[in-house]
Structure 1
Amino acid sequence: MHIVMASDHGGFQLKEFLKNQLAAAGHEVEDLGPDCARSCDYPPYAAKAAERVLAADCLGVLICGTGLGMSIAANRFAGVRAALCTNEFMARMAREH
């Protein structure tokens, strides 16, 4: 599966961890940034991921301090449906609905 990932500084460490786990599981992971934990704004990264998901028809994973900002920013793009998922059940239900 092709997965694009992006975060802000608050989600950087989790993004790096998940990126490595997904790659080890055989998924193609595309990291859209940031490349360090230095303070940054989330909207540009959410936009890059939303645009990439629409262009490549792939799965996107967005991570920020709460998950709310990234999902709100990504949902501004027609055709993108971002959901805050804090556990496997929520992720599964978001994908099904």
Structure 2
Amino acid sequence: MKVIIGNDHTAVELKNKIVEYLKKKNIEVKNIGTDSSEAVGYPDFGAKVAREVVQSNSVGIVICGSGIGISIAANKVKKARAALCRDEKDAEMARKHNNANILALGARILATEKAISILDTFLNTSFEGERHQKRVEKLDNL
């Protein structure tokens, strides 16, 4: 599994902790977010992650202060399905029913431990397919 991760300036610390966690689990990580606290635009990073996720058929993580703006940006990319998750149930349903390929997190909203727990749920939950497949295809063709 390969994870593409991107973030704005508000999320450098959380991103670094997530990257460290994933590497300890021997998961390949490509960091395309900022590593600086200097203000940058979250739309650039959300779109960049989404494009790479769709092109490489991998999984992405996008993080900004609330997770809202960067998830909106990611979802502008055709076939990107970014889900803003605040808890493990959100992550589970995003994967099972929507085949979300990008997890969006809010660095100012979630403690690191909670964010990692949500991430684990996201990565360890599979798409159920079947009745949900047609809906996902509709999303991809919007």
Aligned AA (1:34): T
Name the TM-score, length of structure 2 as normaliser: 0.66
Name the TM-score, length of structure 1 as normaliser: 0.95
The number of residue pairs the alignment matches comes to 97
Provide structure 2 residue ranges, at least 5 long, that are not aligned to the other structure.
98-142
Q: Distance in 2 between matches of 1:87 and 1:14?
A: 16
Deviation at 1:78, TM superposition (A): 1.0
Provide structure 1 residue ranges, at least 5 long, that are not aligned to the other structure.
none
Higher relative contact order, structure no. (Cα contacts within 8 Å, ≥ 6 residues apart): 1
Deviation at 1:86, TM superposition (A): 1.5
Residue of structure 2 equivalent to 1:2: 2
Alignment of 1:72-91 (within 5 A): 72-91=72-91
Aligned partner of residue 83 in structure 1, secondary structure: strand
Residue of structure 1 equivalent to 2:69: 69
Larger gyration radius, structure 1 or structure 2: 2
Deviation at 1:93, TM superposition (A): 1.1
Deviation at 1:66, TM superposition (A): 0.3
1:43-83 CA distances to partner (integer Å, 9 max, x unpaired)?
11111101100111000000000000011001111101111
Alignment of 1:5-24 (within 5 A): 5-24=5-24
Q: Distance in 1 between matches of 2:37 and 2:61?
A: 17
Q: Distance in 2 between matches of 1:39 and 1:82?
A: 23
Alignment of 1:31-42 (within 5 A): 31-42=31-42
Displaced runs of 4 or more, over 6 A: none
Contact 1:13–1:37, Cα closer than 8 Å, also in 2: no
Residue of structure 1 equivalent to 2:27: 27
